[in-house]
A and B are shown apart, each in its own frame.
Chain A
């Protein structure tokens, strides 16, 4: 991860006709370094890679590999310096995997020269490296999506180029294959001192594997540094327009962002008027409430829900703005704060009969200050043994809400009647 940069862009500008795709971008990467290019769609990640590959002309500035401008190199010379893994390659012909991997040797062969035994050994080793060593005789069309991408990676490996460019190589892969591919690429960068530059649209994936992240937005560089410096909720909001909570993986300290997108901006706290109804739930208990309220035309918010929770998924489907916490994690202070903001903007609060454990009892406790200023409805629950798994804290919190003036409603239709009666203004928009 030291030494002179193998990839160097200086004030690189690329234009497609009148549209500037990349403007004045400075990027460097060194041997053994895994550099991630992040940014929303259309930010110029792919264009930067294509400029390095010589696929698009440089309008001004420079794109250099191993000290030479890309444009000055022959196609063959480029292929010896740079290997490329595209987003998705769709082979037309059912070429045996061994042949397919051997295509990577093309730039090393003289015209009409046949692949040598050494070339074949390299191809077999590369196939082993990506875990396809036992599929060499199979046609590439018989490979699965993840295997196909690994086959392309193997072909890139036998190019033996000091630079490896990847263009969102896992965009079409599931999470397991994404992690697998990036893990292999990172190992390769370390072991063979290959410079890796990868366009990655998943910031968390980038933070997990990259040594450095360059963030592009609208063709400009907006951040450049190690993941711990670059990742921040502010960046995510500024570049992607997404509100998120920053967490750290406990063991590795790798930062990751838990995003949630706010709905149309609610009115400022304290102003009267038709604010949203905030629903507290979890474990699927709030799903019928969320559907009924959204169907009736109310604006609805929800929180705090764990990612992948049934209620969280319902909320996402319905487009309900939700404060989200990492899966199975206790509610963090960041999420609490975001939830308080939602509670403060609500014109009514509904508490679904969700099972209460240590991780989410805070959701009940957080409501107390708002009972009184806005109506709080508690959907009927059975005896505490059925839902309270905190050894009493849940039941106590619920009792406190009742004493403060929260009203119990029996069923979801009862709730809708209460809403119609108590909330002065009619639903903001018919469903």
Chain B
């Protein structure tokens, strides 16, 4: 091998990845999902007309007198198309986007906080709390005029109460992340037993609870979208701004602390924000599994482990993932309202298994 006294040569430096391409790729995924999803539905509407309807509303009616002008579509049908696209499909699409983004951003943050690739918004029992809240409404047949509001409110309060318990545990000075994670698992089991007890008291709510547990984005209306997207925009931004702290936390609590990160405070802040974000999503959609778990893994695979990118990236991938699941369910079963959670799990579970086995066989899966 040549002269043994020669200095050993280091391999040539790896070219640095360009920084802009993840942002461009994510924006493209988001745009594609948003443009494609309104085209999918029970009624077949020509894509150009869907597009024109969207543009007409977005431009405040300035662009076209009628979106169907120039097409052989009767005015009655055109009005119906308009109703379908703007009042039914788009709110549903935006709810899917908001809920997916909420779950994705929460999942990424929690995987970072717990340094555990299996953490997701539901592991801490937040969804179980929401389910118990919802079950109250179903089981006791809470009957008030604003039924549409009561269910989300109860689910939200149930989720938030659970988040508060976790937060109290996180305040403890000596609780490790492992302890906290186990607390969440215990809480989850406890809430499941409360749910079973409730259903035992009044089995008539059982079917509704089952349906709720599978998730549903049919409740999307413009006001709901406003609440969900507004919340996600605020909490998601706040979560994404903790990216640097999450990066440092990956080195372990002690090291992060020695570098100036108040690990306990950051952990509490992130648990508070993810609880809130998840609670809002769960309140309107029920339990949608796997989005929060899988989205961060996809982002890490594609763009690396920097949490400053993983958190916002997971929000976008989560939104796109849920939209994809919606489109898939409508394409496979065009005429029935199918709980979307079935499709996220259907696509998500095999993918997750694939990730797990790939990890075991090859390089470490970073970040989680």
A residues sitting closer than 8 Å to B (CB atoms) are 53-55, 74-76, 78-80, 82-84, 86, 89, 91-96, 99, 103-104, 106-107, 112, 134-138, 141, 155, 159
Tell whether, in the assembled complex, residue A107 and residue B259 are in contact, meaning their CB atoms are under 8 Å apart: yes
Knowing A92-B367, A137-B13, the reply to whether A103 touches B258 (Cβ < 8 A) is: no
* Bound complex: CA A79 to CA B255 (Å): 10
A-B contact pairs, 8 of them (CB 8 A): A75-B261, A75-B263, A79-B257, A89-B251, A93-B250, A106-B261, A107-B259, A134-B13
Roughly how many angstroms separate A134 CA and B13 CA in the complex, as a whole number? 8
Does A92 contact B366, Cβ atoms closer than 8 Å? yes
Known contacts A79-B260, A80-B260, A137-B16; is-contact A55 B254 (Cβ 8 Å)? yes
Which secondary structure characterizes the binding site on chain B? loop
Given contacts A103-B248, A103-B251, A138-B14, contact A93 B259 (CB under 8 A): no
Residues of A within 8 A of B241 (CB): 112
B10 with A135: CB separation less than 8 A: yes
Specify which chain B residues have a CB less than 8 angstroms from the CB of A93 in the assembled complex.
Answer: 247, 250, 305, 366-367
Give the contacting residue for B115; candidates A74, A92, A103; CB below 8 A.
A92
When A92-B364, A94-B305 are in contact, do A75 and B251 touch as well, CB less than 8 Å?
no
Q: Check if A86 sits within 8 Å of B255, measured CB to CB.
A: yes
Known: A89-B252, A138-B14. A74 touches B262 (CB 8 A): yes
CB distance from A166 to the nearest CB of B (A): 12
Contacts A89-B252, A92-B250, A92-B364 given; indicate if A106 touches B259 (C-beta within 8 A): yes
Sample of 20 further A-B pairs with CB below 8 A, known A89-B251, A94-B305, A107-B260: A54-B257, A55-B257, A75-B262, A76-B260, A78-B260, A79-B258, A84-B255, A89-B255, A92-B364, A92-B366, A95-B247, A95-B305, A96-B16, A99-B306, A103-B259, A106-B244, A136-B13, A137-B13, A137-B14, A138-B13
- Are A76 and B252 CB-contacts (below 8 A) given A106-B244, A134-B13, A138-B14? no
- Minimal beta-carbon separation of A94 from chain B (angstroms): 6
Residues of A within 8 A of B306 (CB): 95, 99
Kindly list chain A residues whose C-beta atoms are within 8 Å of the C-beta of B13.
134-138
Query: What is the minimal beta-carbon distance from B3 to any residue of chain A, in angstroms?
Result: 20
Question: Judging by beta carbons under 8 Å apart, are B248 and A82 in contact?
Answer: no
Q: How far is the CB of A98 from chain B (nearest CB, A)?
A: 9
Residue of A79, A92, A107 contacting most chain B CB atoms (<10 Å): A92
Name B's A-contacting residues (CB within 8 A). 10, 13-16, 115, 241, 244, 247-248, 250-252, 254-255, 257-263, 305-306, 364, 366-367
Interface centre among A75, A82, A99, A107 (most CB of B within 10 A): A75
B14, B255, B260, B262 — which one has the most chain A CB atoms within 10 A of its CB? B260
A83 to B255, CA, bound (A): 10
B248, B257, B364 — most chain A CB neighbours (10 Å):
B257
Which residue of A is nearest B174, CB measured?
A57
Inside 8 A of A92's CB, which chain B residues have their CB? 115, 250-251, 305, 364, 366-367
A92-B115, A137-B14 are contacts. A75–B248 as well, Cβ < 8 Å?
no
With A106-B244, A135-B10 in contact, do A76 and B262 touch (Cβ < 8 Å)?
A: yes
CB of B262 within 8 A of CB of A94, answer no
Check A134–B258 contact: CB distance below 8 A. no
B248 and A53 form a contact (CB under 8 A):
no
Point out the residue from B15, B259, B263, B367 that lies within 8 Å of A104, measured CB to CB: B259
CA A427 – CA B262 in complex, angstroms? Answer: 64
Q: How far is the CA of A92 from the CA of B262 in the complex (A)?
A: 20
Docked-complex contact A53 and B366, CB < 8 angstroms: no
A residues less than 8 Å from B252 (CB atoms) = 89
- Least CB distance from B176 to A in Å reads 13
Q: Report the Cα distance A74→B115, complex, angstroms.
A: 24
Which residue from chain B places its CB closest to the CB of A104 in the assembled complex? B259
Partner of A159, one of B10, B259, B261, B305: B259
